[in-house]
Every structure is written in C-alpha cells, then in structure tokens.
Structure 1
Amino acid sequence: MSQRNYRAAIIGTGGIAHVHAQAVLGSGRASLVAVADVDAGRAAEFAAKYGVPRSHASTEELLREERPDFVHLCTPPHLHAPLAIACLEAGVTVLVEKPPTLTLAEFDALAEAESRSTAHVATVLQHRFGAGALRLRRLAEAGELGRPLLATCLTQWYRDEDYYAVPWRGTWESEGGGPTMGHGIHQFDLLFSVLGPWREVTAVAARRARPVDTEDVSMALVTFDSGAVATVVNSVLSPRQTSHLRFDYEHATVEVEHLYGYTDEDWTVTPAPGHDEVTALWGRDRSERRSGHSGWLAAVLDALDRGEAPPVTVADARRTMEFIAALYASAFTGERVRTGQITADSPFAQKMDGTGAPWEKVRNP
C-alpha cells in the first residue's frame, strides 16, 4: 500500500484543536497547511505556534483558497453539521469532533450530503483505535473469549460550574445534550465497537447539581443483538473520576480503567477456570502507545491510502447517535426503546430532548 503526504487543515482553533495539530504534525504523513477561526487573532496565534503557513477568518475562505485533502472540524458542536456539509459540498473530506451533530435528523442530513459528495465524513472517536481495543476485538472475533455475556461502561467525570460558564455548554441548542452526548460517548462508542449492534435501551436521566438545561447524569440498561447485556453510566458529578469498561465473556473478564486515554498497562484480563490460555493470548503484541488522536489519525490515513471511507464511518457513528437519542427518549418517556424505533418524524430525532426534559416541564408548567 503506497502512502502519500496529505494536505490537512483545521477549522476552529480552541482547546481540542491543539491535540489535532499535534497528531497531524506527528504523523509524518500529513502537512498542516491552513487553519480557520472566526476569531482571526486566535487563528493567527494558533498558526504561528504550529508553523502553519496561512490562517483564515472563515470556512468558506479556507476551502476556496487552500483545497485541503481533509479538514479537522474542531468547533463547538452546533456548528458541526453546517460546516461539515460545506466541506462535503466542496469535495473535501471532513473529520468531525464528537458529537458529530446535535440531533439524529442532523446526522441523517450529514449522511445524505456525504452520499452526494466525492468526499467522506468521519467522527473522531479515538478510543476505538488504542492497542487494547484492537486486541480485544481481534480476540473476540476469533472466538478466543467465547460468547459475550455482560458488560459495564462507566464514564464518571467531574465538571464544575466554571466549566459550564462557557456559553455553548450545558444547553440542548448548542451542545445537544449533557454527559450522555459530550462525555460518555467515547466509552459507549468503544463498547459498541466491541459488542456490535445494540437492540434495546431502558434509561433514566436527571439534572442533580449543575446549573444546566441538559442532564448531568444518565444511566441505561442495554441489550445487544448478540444477547449480551450492559449497563452504561454517564456523569459529570463524580469527584473520583474514571472511565471504566468491563467485558465479561464465557472465557474471561477483560477490563480497562483510565481517564482520558489508556495504554496496555490500564487493561487487565481474568481468565475463567480452565481458560488460562487467554492470558497468554492477551499478552502478545503489547504496545506502550496511548489511545488518542494519533492512533485514530493513523487509521484515517491508512483508509485514505486505500481509497476507502475513513473511520469512524457514517454507519458506525449513526449507531452511536441513535443510541443517544434512544437513551433520552427512554429517560423522558419512561418507555423501553428499540433500535429503529426513532423514525424521522419522532420528536427525539429532531431534538435530543424530544418533547422536553422533565425538569423543564416542572419549571415551566
């Protein structure tokens, strides 16, 4: 497989853009040719820091003058869909930070725009690409672990009131949701990448402590097509922060506990009686690399070298976005929600809070 050097650009030069810039510059396979931000001063400062030759004041100007091979979209969430569609219409592949859109309807519009374009759209969900996750999927697909039985997926983080002082945070209109949408998505996307299609969800969501419009904690019970069952917890109220996934298979328990990125040292394997061979299988091909944007970008570039859609593809990301909509629908209606149940005319396809969060109804009877 031949490799080429790609022309990359970044739109939005806030905090997460620095991680993207470092991944591009460290890849050895792409050059950062331009950045854009509505704050021209911040864009120029960012460009100077990373040796980027040009900065622009708008997406339109960047796309018109630079013609990059792909764009990293690092803006606040409410801008993701319109700017990603602009990139696709210009024939430029776009790599969108999570969450890719505010709603399932927006996501389907983005998928439709991709179908009309020669370019692709991919969502940045980097924890799929760490060495441990790759090894787990490989062993599971080979049948070495037996059937998946149950799993737990915990994103218990802490965000204080100062965090929510940023105007676009904590609102349905600009962030799309609370920790379900913007924090736990990394972990349960990894869960889905291992266990496959989810079938049904029963959930609760609550606003317990933060001055936000959205939830600040949610919990869900999930069943999968495989028959496996899982619990998913998403919180921004937890002083001891952790990201913890546990997979119980017939032949072993496989766990990872980390915060914002894992290495092989963060994974543990406990074989079931009579299956000690799993420990040896897990110990092969160990890596010291940390899960993060560099590993994800390498997978993106490999796909582009092959002429394929980069990960995480529209089909993969839609499964995750549909789960978010289903979780909110279950939490706010009290009903169990199955995959495919949220159709285009559902209020939970149009807005993640659907007909309105219960606490909003109490405040505004």
Structure 2
Amino acid sequence: MTSRTYTCAIVGTGAIAGAHARAIAALPARARLVGAVDVEPDRVAAFGAEWGVSAHPTLADLLADRRPDLVHLCTPPGTHLSLALECLAAGVSPVVEKPPVLSLADLDRLRAAEAEAGVPVATIFQHRFGSGAVRLRRLLAEGALGRPLLASADTLWFRDDDYFAVPWRGKWELEGGGPTMGHGIHQFDLLLSVLGPWSEVSAVAARQARPTDTEDVSAALVRFDSGAVATVVNSLVSPRQTSRLRFDFEHATVELEHLYGYSDADWRLTPAPGAPDPTPAWGSDPVGVPSGHTAQLAAVLDALDEGRTPPVSTADTRMTLEFVAAVYASAFTGRVVVRGEITEGHPFHAGMAGGGAPWPPRRSGPSDSRVGRTT
C-alpha cells in the first residue's frame, strides 16, 4: 500500500467544522488542512487564523487558488448538492456531512455526477468506524453471534425552541426533515451497517412540541432481508438524552449506549444461556478506537491509498437515505413501504415530505400532537 499526504479544505466553518479540522490535525502524516470557505468573512478569517490556513469567500475562489484532494462540506444540508457537484466538476472528492442531500432524487443526481467525473464521494456516518462497530460486524460475518433476530435504535435527544431559531432548521426545503433525517440518522445508519438490507418499513411521525415545519418525533418498525425485526425511534423532545442500540442475536445480546459518540467502554455483551459464548471473540481486535470523524477520515485515507472506494460510498448512503424516505412515506400515507419502491416519479423520491406533511406549516405557536399518519 502506498501512503501519501492528502490536502484537505473545509467549506462552512460552523460548529461541525471543528470536528473535521481536529480529525485532519490528528492524522498529520496523512492529511493536511490547506484552506477554508465561508460566506461570513469574519468567521472564515477567524477559522483560518486558528488553523493556519487560507480563507476564501466561495468554493470557486478556493478551487481557483489551490486544488485540494478532499473538500469537506460542513454547510447546511440544502447547500450540499450544489457544492458537491462543483467539487466533482473540478475533479475533487467531496466529503459530505450528513444528511448528504435533501432527497433520493438529489442523491441519484450526485451518483450520476460521481460516475461521470470518476471521482469518489464519501458521506460522513462516523459511528460506523469505532472499533466496537467494526468488531461487531466482523463477528457477525464470522458467525460468532449467530443469526440476528431483533434490534432497536433509539435516538432520544432534546432540542429546545431556540434551537429552531436558526433559519434553515426545521424546514423541509432547507434541512430535508426533522430528527429522522438529521439526528437519528447516525444511530440507524449504524444499525443498517450491521443488519444489512432492509425490506419493509411501517412508521408514524408527529410534531409534538417544537416550532418546526418537520416532525420532532418518529418511530418505525423495520423488517430486514435476513428476517430480523427492528424498531427505530427518533426524538428531539426527550429530556433524558441518550443514543441507544441493542442487537439480539442467537448467541448474545450486544448493547451500546452513549450520546454523541462512543468508546469501547460503552458496549456490553450478554451471552445467551446454553449457546456458544462469544465473549472471548468480543474482546479481540480491533479495540480502543472511539467513533468519530478521525476514525472515519483514517478509513477514507486507507481506501484512497489502496485504490478502493472510500467509505461511506454513495451506494451505502442510498440504502440509508432510502430508509429515511420510507419512514416519511409510511408515516404520511399510512402504508407499509418496501425497499425499491421509491423511485423516480414517486412522491417521496423528489422530497422527504412527499406531497406535504399532514400538519400545517408552522414556525411558532402552541403544541400540535397529531401523529403524522393519514388514512
């Protein structure tokens, strides 16, 4: 394997940009930050001074000044597609924060541009890359855990009304959705990376309390091609915050509880009575790698060094984003949605709200607890 140092730039210097900058700095022999972009001059100037890199007002200006290997897109979700297409046209790989785009139609357009440019796109789903998740997928593939039977993924977070004062938050056309799209996606993407292809979804969604156009709660019942069944709950109204996953296999229960990132200490394995004990295998390598942007960036650079498609590929991303669309489609129509159903021409292919949420647009006012299911 040939290793090199990759140059990186960051577009959008808000809060999440710091996680990307720290990940690059944590891999000094392999990655180097060379530039930053933001439409707010003072903010990008301060970010550039903090990290010792050039500051630019636009992506076009950055690309004219230098040609980085990777451009990390840390802007609001509604801007991701146009910026990623601009990167691909310049022959530069975009590394896109979640959610990567606002719809399956946008993702299909991005995948077509990726294929035409011959330049890979990676989506940030950093929970796949902690050593606990890597080990879990390996042991499942090796048969040490037996068949997956039942699972759950709960993202129970709390965001107050002031959180939605940011203009792009809580709007379908700018954020793409609520906690199903922008918050719980981390947990259930990890669930999907372990359990593989899902086959059907039945869901509800509700706007329970927050001044938002989107849902603030959703819940889904999911069936997988393997026969496993799972529940997925996403919330922004839960005062005791937690991110929780549980997998019940034939030979063991594997649990993870954390909030915004996990370490090996956050995992727990309970052997099934009378079954082969997978505990010794659970303690094997890899160990000691927390989930986060550094772990995923290292995996991206490994793939580039080896000439492989970097994770998380647009093909992997599509299965997760199709799941998001299926949750909304089921919640808003009252139907079970099967994988592969939402294609061009389907109301939920062009946007996660389909023909519109079953509650009126609203940015303020009293609570509205009607569930997002129509008959």
Distance 1:118 1:350 in 2: 25
1:292-342 deviation digits (Å, cap 9, x = unpaired): 001000000001101222110011000000000011000000000000111
Whether the 8 Å contact between 1:263 and 1:287 is mirrored in structure 2 is no
CA deviation after TM superposition for structure 1 residue 276, in Å: 5.5
Distance 2:340 2:284 in 1: 39
Whether the 8 Å contact between 1:140 and 1:146 is mirrored in structure 2 is yes
Q: Which residue identity lines up with residue 80 of structure 1 in the other structure?
A: H
User: For 1:238, what is the secondary structure of its paired residue?
Assistant: strand
Q: Number of aligned residue pairs: give it.
A: 362
1:124 aligns with 2:137: no
Say if 1:361 and 1:265 are closer, same or farther in 2 by CA, change over 3 A: closer
**Runs of 4+ in structure 1 displaced over 3 angstroms?**
none
CA deviation after TM superposition for structure 1 residue 286, in Å: 6.1
Query: In the alignment, which residue of structure 1 is the partner of 2:373?
Result: none
Distance 1:174 1:23 in 2: 27
User: For 2:161, what is the secondary structure of its paired residue?
Assistant: coil
1:174 aligns with 2:197: no
Distance 2:25 2:264 in 1: 24
Query: In the alignment, which residue of structure 2 is the partner of 1:87?
Result: 87
Distance 1:306 1:62 in 2: 28
Whether the 8 Å contact between 2:145 and 2:251 is mirrored in structure 1 is yes
1:42-90 deviation digits (Å, cap 9, x = unpaired): 11110111111x1110011111221000100000000000100110111
Query: In the alignment, which residue of structure 2 is the partner of 1:319?
Result: 319
- Could you tell me the percent identity over the aligned residues? 62
Query: In the alignment, which residue of structure 1 is the partner of 2:372?
Result: none
User: For 2:231, what is the secondary structure of its paired residue?
Assistant: strand
1:44 aligns with 2:38: no
Unaligned runs of 5+ in 1: none
Query: In the alignment, which residue of structure 1 is the partner of 2:60?
Result: 60
Query: In the alignment, which residue of structure 2 is the partner of 1:268?
Result: 268
Whether the 8 Å contact between 1:81 and 1:100 is mirrored in structure 2 is yes
RMSD (Å) for aligned C-alpha atoms: 1.2
Task: Compute the TM-score of the two structures, normalised by the length of structure 2.
Answer: 0.95
1:236-285 deviation digits (Å, cap 9, x = unpaired): 00000010000000000000000001111100000011235311111123
1:109 aligns with 2:106: no
Query: In the alignment, which residue of structure 2 is the partner of 1:192?
Result: 192
Whether the 8 Å contact between 2:213 and 2:361 is mirrored in structure 1 is no
Query: In the alignment, which residue of structure 2 is the partner of 1:24?
Result: 24
Whether the 8 Å contact between 1:130 and 1:291 is mirrored in structure 2 is yes
1:343 aligns with 2:343: yes
Q: Which is further off, 41-50 or 131-140?
A: 41-50
User: For 1:347, what is the secondary structure of its paired residue?
Assistant: coil
Task: Compute the TM-score of the two structures, normalised by the length of structure 1.
Answer: 0.97
Say if 1:361 and 1:334 are closer, same or farther in 2 by CA, change over 3 A: farther
1:129-170 deviation digits (Å, cap 9, x = unpaired): 000000000000001101100101000000001111111000
Q: Which is further off, 280-289 or 245-254?
A: 280-289
